[in-house]
């Protein structure tokens, strides 16, 4: 463990003993059946150094039977089982680390990848930005990803959660335990670098493309943090969905608004300081609903409605949303970071632009 990070966090937070060498990533949850493949498989009770049981055939099967976790035909004692292999494991098409934990319960089986923090950072860089991005932009992403992961790890310890982070878009997109060379190089070049404010790592949120100006954390995420303040970007012009248009059928919009019938009207009723939609009013006949624009985006689908920087107009058979940018808009703009890197900016300059009032410390 690095000598810098734990004393720093212990001074600022009400607990100690944070192990930073590894990260626990929930890569799947709520499954009824799990099949893990790999060479030299063995299994033991999770959370212990107990005896291992060899598993032949290069395949391990676990099932959820009424809330009981059954591994290779035997009921696993709580909290579950740790599966190890001689190399990377596989869950369907996903490459996992050589050690994973499987836990059962009323909601099904959770699969938790256990791997070194820097391997996880490389996996996030691979999942979040294209390998063709400039080197300094990938390094900026690595630092943001590491910082975000440490904040979530601290949170997990405080809450007693079995995993530190999720693997999907609502956390950080983790591409798995086999990242490409450029992603691994970005993690290695910035190893131990963490964005801090005072004595704490910051909540280093990021998004794909801001469309010109980033959003205030309070408006984008409900996180009123002064380092998530709007900043000028203007460098994400090359983003794939910088300008977009989405058609939504009247029935879909009415259902999303909770009106139970086809929408007949829609307008942006309130905007944030950066011009993004804050509240949307939907009309269906004599009924109307006013809801947070973020809720509407969630109900329609994050990918279907790329951002909240939109206008809406009625069209034949439904409505057209026209907007710019992709993602919530707070913190690092990934395509903006690529633009800054092409201008010759370093990853440190990029990060301090998007997270105002922070500093970068090498913690280990």
| Percentage above 90 pLDDT, the chain | 85
Distance (Å, whole) CA 127 – CA 322: 27
pLDDT tens string 151-160: 999 999 999 9
8 A C-beta contact, residue 90 and residue 152: no
pLDDT at 123 over 80: yes
Confidence of residue 47 (pLDDT cuts 50, 70, 90): confident
- Above 50 in pLDDT, residue 149? yes
pLDDT of residue 243: 96
Strand order in the sheet with 277-284: 265-271, 277-284, 287-292
**Per-residue pLDDT for 168 more than 70?**
yes
Give the model's pLDDT for residue 11. Answer: 40
Rg from Cα positions in the chain: 23
Q: Is pLDDT above 90 for 1?
A: no
Residue 127 host element (H or E): helix 117-128
CB distance 37 to 9 below 8 Å: no
3-class SS letters over 2-43: CCCHHHHHHHHCCCCCCCCCEEEEEEEEEECEEEEECCCCEE
The mean pLDDT value for 249-261 works out to 96
| Mean pLDDT over each residue of the chain, to the nearest integer | 92
Residue 19 — very low, low, confident or very high, per pLDDT cuts 50/70/90? Answer: low
Provide the token pair at 54.
């060899």
pLDDT score of 18 more than 70: no
Please check the confidence at residue 171 and state whether its pLDDT lies above 50. Answer: yes
* Vertex 17: Cα angle to 188 and 101 (nearest 5): 70
Phi, psi of 160 (to 5 degrees): 70, 30
- Kindly give the residue spans of alpha helices, DSSP state H, lying in 193-315: 217-221, 250-256, 293-300
Among residues 343, 323, 361, the alpha carbon closest in space to that of 215 is found at: 323
Average pLDDT over residues 279-290: 96
Tokens of 188: 């290695």
- What the block records as the tokens of 221 is 């995420």
CA dist., res. 214 & res. 163, Å (int): 30
Over 70: is that where the pLDDT of 16 sits? no
How far are the Cα atoms of 122, 126, 127, 185 from residue 181, in angstroms, in the given order? 9, 9, 13, 6
| Residue 176 pLDDT exceeds 70 | yes
Q: pLDDT, tens digit, for every residue of 60-106?
A: 999 999 889 999 999 999 999 999 999 999 999 999 999 999 999 88
Kindly state the average pLDDT of the residues 27-33. Answer: 95
* Integer angstrom CA distances of residue 253 from 132, 259, 267, 312, 328: 37, 9, 12, 11, 20
Torsion angle, CA of 200/344/128/240, rounded to 10 degrees? 130
Strands 22-31 and 109-116: antiparallel
pLDDT at 20: 61
């Amino acid at each position: 463990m690095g000598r810098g990070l734990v004393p720093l966090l212990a001074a600022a937070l009400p607990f100690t003993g944070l192990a930073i060498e590894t990260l626990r990533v929930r890569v799947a949850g709520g499954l009824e059946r799990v099949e893990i493949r790999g060479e030299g498989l063995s299994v033991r009770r999770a959370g212990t150094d107990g005896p291992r049981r060899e598993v032949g055939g290069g395949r391990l099967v676990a099932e959820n039977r009424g809330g009981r976790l059954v591994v290779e035909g035997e009921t696993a004692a709580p909290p579950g089982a740790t599966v190890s292999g001689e190399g990377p494991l596989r869950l369907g098409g996903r490459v996992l680390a050589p050690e994973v934990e499987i836990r059962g319960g009323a909601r099904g089986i959770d699969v938790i990848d256990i791997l070194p923090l820097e391997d996880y950072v490389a996996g996030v860089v691979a999942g979040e930005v294209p390998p063709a991005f400039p080197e300094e932009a990938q390094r900026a992403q690595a630092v943001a990803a590491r910082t975000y992961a440490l904040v979530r790890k601290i949170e997990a310890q405080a809450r007693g959660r079995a995993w530190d982070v999720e693997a999907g878009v609502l956390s950080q997109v983790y591409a798995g335990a086999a990242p490409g060379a450029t992603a691994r190089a970005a993690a290695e070049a910035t190893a131990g670098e963490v964005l801090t404010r005072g004595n704490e790592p910051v909540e280093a949120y990021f998004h794909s493309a801001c469309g010109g100006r980033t959003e205030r954390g309070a408006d984008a995420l409900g996180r009123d943090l002064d380092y998530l303040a709007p900043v000028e970007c203007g460098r994400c012009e090359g983003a794939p969905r910088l300008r977009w248009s989405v058609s939504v059928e009247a029935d879909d919009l009415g259902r999303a608004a909770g009106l139970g019938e086809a929408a007949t009207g829609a307008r942006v009723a309130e905007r944030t300081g950066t011009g993004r939609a804050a509240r949307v009013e939907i009309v269906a006949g004599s009924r109307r609903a006013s809801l947070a624009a973020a809720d509407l985006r969630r109900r329609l689908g994050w990918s279907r409605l790329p951002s909240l920087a939109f206008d809406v107009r009625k069209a034949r058979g439904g409505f057209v949303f026209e907007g710019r940018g992709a993602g919530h808009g707070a913190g690092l703009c990934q395509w903006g970071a690529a633009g800054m890197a092409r201008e010759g900016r370093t990853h440190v300059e990029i990060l301090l632009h998007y997270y105002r009032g922070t500093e970068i410390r090498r913690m280990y």
